[in-house]
């Protein structure tokens, strides 16, 4: 079923509902990403951005709807899920590196354990990835010895080591100061230029304007706008998006 057909999205969410107890957080989410597309997901705090991202690789269960990667439903559990998850990289606000492992070990662990990549090959690839994120000299360091921006770039290298088809980012720079933020955004922009398919939750509007192919705005668990950034920023169609932008742009 996987194909390069331009008509088939690489990632597709259809009719996704999600509740926590009695609280419905996502309502009929329809979202498609084509190969190489960069989508920035915007919305107020509590609107469901993280939940949506976490549903994609089933860190959260869903109550209704479907999630397809290259036309194939994400499995519910087990080895099949692990195999599909390996194709969907994730980068969080809090880096989530293993503190007792070196940078190199952080990057090689999953390829060796989950994908069975030979250790020597995984190490070679980790060095390439570290060079790509500007940290060629940090292979032997421990996370605590790195700045936040450096740790986040290691987290990106770690995600890339699995050779994912899609990368999901949940506020990757919101724990960072401006200089470190830019280091991380530069790496993300470069990935976008190289054709990586990315779904990004961020409040970095400059990044959204420059790098996104499309901005999707979510309000109270519903996607209410989806437009190219120049259109969205020039004239959001809903009051909620206008209100959101007026708050965020005056910070
Ligand atoms: N594990 C959970 N249990 C119960 N409620 C949850 C859980 N996770 C999220 N929620 C609720 O779901 C709603 C959406 O949360 P979510 O974290 O997806 O929002 P968000 O858009 O990412 O917000 P923020 O911008 O603050 O990160 C919120 O009302 C939140 O309280
Ligand atoms: Mg969130």
Task: State which ligand 1 atom lies nearest to the alpha carbon of 48.
Answer: 18
Q: How far is residue 146 from each of residues 35, 113, 134, 142, 155, measured CA to CA in Å? A: 33, 25, 13, 7, 12
pLDDT at residue 98 tops 60: yes
Ligand 2 being an ion, which residues bring their Cβ within 5 A of it?
49-50
Strand 11-20 versus strand 197-201 pairing type: unpaired
Set out the domains of the chain in order of their start, with CATH numbers. Answer: 11-249 (3.40.50.300)
Tens of pLDDT, residue by residue over 106-116, are: 999 999 998 99
* Mean pLDDT, residues 200-226: 97
The predicted pLDDT at position 83 comes to: 85
pLDDT at residue 248 tops 90: no
Task: State which ligand 1 atom lies nearest to the alpha carbon of 218.
Answer: 21
SS3 per residue for 77-122: CHHHHHHHHCCEEEEECCCCCCCCCCHHHHHHHHHHHHHCCCHHHH
- Mean confidence (pLDDT) of the chain: 94
Q: Give the distance (Å) from ligand 1 centre to CA of residue 142.
A: 31
pLDDT over 70, % of the chain:
96
Residue of the CA atom closest to atom 18 of ligand 1:
48
Residue of the CA atom closest to atom 28 of ligand 1:
46
Tens of pLDDT, residue by residue over 115-140, are: 999 999 999 999 999 999 999 999 99
The predicted pLDDT at position 2 comes to: 54
Are the C-beta atoms of 170 and 53 separated by less than 8 Å? yes
Residues 6+ apart with CB under 8 A from 165: 10, 35, 69, 70, 87, 88, 197
Element (H, E) at 217: strand 214-219
Residue of the CA atom closest to atom 16 of ligand 1:
48
């Amino acid at each position: 079923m996987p194909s390069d057909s331009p008509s088939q999205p690489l990632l597709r969410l259809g009719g996704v509902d999600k509740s926590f107890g009695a609280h419905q957080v996502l309502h009929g989410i329809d979202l498609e990403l084509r190969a190489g597309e960069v989508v920035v997901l915007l919305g107020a705090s509590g609107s469901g951005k993280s939940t949506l991202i976490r549903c994609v690789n089933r860190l959260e269960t869903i109550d209704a709807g479907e999630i397809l990667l290259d036309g194939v439903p994400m499995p519910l559990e087990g080895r099949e899920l692990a195999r599909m998850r390996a194709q969907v990289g994730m980068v969080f606000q809090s880096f989530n590196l293993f503190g007792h492992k070196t940078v190199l070990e952080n990057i090689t662990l999953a390829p060796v354990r989950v994908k069975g990549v030979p250790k020597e090959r995984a190490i070679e690839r980790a060095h390439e990835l570290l060079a790509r994120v500007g940290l060629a000299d940090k292979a032997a360091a421990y996370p605590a010895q790195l700045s936040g921006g450096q740790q986040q770039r290691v987290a990106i290298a770690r995600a890339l080591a699995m050779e994912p088809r899609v990368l999901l980012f949940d506020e990757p720079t919101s724990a960072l100061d401006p200089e470190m933020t830019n280091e991380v955004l530069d790496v993300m922009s470069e990935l976008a230029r190289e054709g990586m398919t990315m779904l990004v939750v961020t409040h970095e509007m400059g990044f959204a304007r420059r790098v996104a192919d499309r901005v999707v705005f979510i309000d109270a668990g519903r996607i209410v706008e989806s437009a190219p950034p120049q259109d969205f920023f020039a004239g959001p169609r809903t009051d909620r998006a206008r209100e959101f932008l007026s708050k965020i742009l005056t910070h």
